[in-house]
Amino acid sequence: MNAPQSDTGPAPKSWIAAIAPYVPGKAASDDGRPVVKLSANENPLGTSPAARAAFAEGSADLATYPDPGAAKLREAIARVHGLDPARIIYGAGSDELLHIAASAYAGPGDEVLYVRYGFSVYDIAARRVGATPVVAPDKDYGTDVDALLALVSERTRVVFLANPNNPTGTMTPRGEIARLHAALPTDVLLVIDQAYAEYLDAEDDDGALELAKTASNVLVTRTFSKIYGLAAERIGWGYAAPPIVEALHRIRAPFNITTAGQAAAAAAIADAQWVEASRTHNSRWRQWLTEQVEGMGNHGLSAVPSKANFLLVLFKGRLTAERAFQGLMQAGYATRWLPGQGLPDALRITIGTEAQMRDVARLLRDMAETV
C-alpha cells in the first residue's frame, strides 16, 4: 500500500467548501466584555412565565426521548391558528426546516432563488445540497416580485422569501405574495419564511398561512425564537400540503425537538397576553427609534421602514456604519454590521428595552455630531 505524500484527510465536497459560514450576532466585545445583545432579534422582555413553568416541568425527565410526533405542540399551534395538526411540521429552529426544504426539493444542477439582502441561511441551505443559489435584485431593500419571476428557469426548484425580511425589515404585501405564487410553476416550492409574522399588525397579514392551506407548493415557516422568547430551545414549525409535510418528515432528525422545548412552546403560543405585550412594546419602540434616526437625517442617517423587531439603519454621512458599530460596541451594545451581506453602509439594531433604545439613540446622535 502506498502512503499518500501528504495526508490532508478527506476533502469536503466542492460545494460544501464554497460555503461562507453563518455569522451569529455578537454577544461579547472583541476584548471579551459582555455586552447588551441587540444583534440577534431576541425578545428583550424574555420568555412568558407560563412557558418558563412548562419548560421546568418538561425538563423533569431527561432520560426519555421526546415525543417524536410533537403531538401536544402541534395541537397548541393548530388551535391558535385554525390549522390541521397533521399538516404541521416542526424543526430544530425554523433553520432546520429551511435546510430540509432545500434538501427535499433541490440538488446538484438545480437552482434555489431568493432576493438580495434575503436571510443569509438561504445561501447555505442551497449550497449545502449542491444546488446553485440565484439572487434577484432588490427594490429599495425589499422584495421585487418581477425581478424574482424574471429569474425563474426550468432549473428553479425552490424560492425562499422572508416576510418580513431579515435583515431589512421590509414587508412584501399580500397582493404581491399572491402574484408571485400565481406566476410560479406549481412544481417550484415557494417557502415563505415568517419568522417575524407575530410582530405584524393584523392588517399587514401577508396571507401566507391561508395560501399554504390550499396551495400544493407553498411551505410557510414560523419560529419560537423571536416573539416567543425561546431561541435557546431551537423550535420552529411549518405548514404545507400533505405531500410536502411527508417529504420533510422523511429527512428531519428523528427526535428533532426536545421534551422541555415542546412543552414550553405549547405554553408560549397559548399565552396570547405575553405575545400581545411583546408586540405592543416592539411597535412602540421601533417607531420611536425610527423617528430618532430620521431626526439625524442631517447627519446622513436614515431607517428602512421596518415591520419586524429590528431596524436597518443606513449611514450615508460622515459617521459610517462601521464606526457606529464600533462606538456602540465600546459603549456596551452589540448590533449587526453587515458588510458580508452587501450592506457595508448599514447596521441592524434589534428593538430592545426602553432604556436600551434611549441609550442607543443618544450614542448615535453623539457620534454623528462629533465625528
Ligand X SMILES: *Cc1c(COP(=O)(O)O)cnc(C)c1O
Point out which residues bind ligand X (CB under 6 A).
Answer: 41, 93-95, 119, 162, 166, 193, 195, 223, 225, 231, 236
Cα Rg of the chain, angstroms:
21
Q: Which is nearer to ligand X, 161 or 360 (CB)?
A: 161
Residue by residue, DSSP assigns 249-303 as: HHHS-TT-S-HHHHHHHHHHHH-HHHHHHHHHHHHHHHHHHHHHHHTTGGGTEEE
In the structure grid, which three cell numbers stand for residue 113, read together?
Answer: 432563488
Sheet holding 310-315, edge to edge: 301-304, 310-315, 343-350, 336-338
Q: Which is nearer to ligand X, 212 or 368 (CB)?
A: 212
Q: How far is the CB of 91 from ligand X (least distance, A)?
A: 8
Q: Which is nearer to ligand X, 193 or 271 (CB)?
A: 193
Report the alpha-carbon distance of residue 246 to residue 239 in Å, rounded.
11
Q: How far is the CB of 164 from ligand X (least distance, A)?
A: 8
Inter-helix orientation angle 93-105/242-251, to 10°: 100
Q: How far is the CB of 25 from ligand X (least distance, A)?
A: 10
Q: How far is the CB of 193 from ligand X (least distance, A)?
A: 5
Q: Which is nearer to ligand X, 117 or 274 (CB)?
A: 117
With residue 359 as reference, give the H or E element that holds it.
helix 354-370
Report the alpha-carbon distance of residue 315 to residue 266 in Å, rounded.
41
Q: Which is nearer to ligand X, 327 or 337 (CB)?
A: 337
Q: Which is nearer to ligand X, 225 or 256 (CB)?
A: 225
Q: How far is the CB of 240 from ligand X (least distance, A)?
A: 16
Q: How far is the CB of 92 from ligand X (least distance, A)?
A: 8
Picking from 230, 275, 229, 222, the residue whose alpha carbon sits closest to that of residue 91 is: 222
Q: Which is nearer to ligand X, 93 or 133 (CB)?
A: 93
Q: How far is the CB of 163 from ligand X (least distance, A)?
A: 9
Residue holding cell 428557469? 153
For ligand X, the nearest residue by Cβ is 93
Residue by residue, DSSP assigns 69-104 as: T-HHHHHHHHHHHT--GGGEEEEEHHHHHHHHHHHH
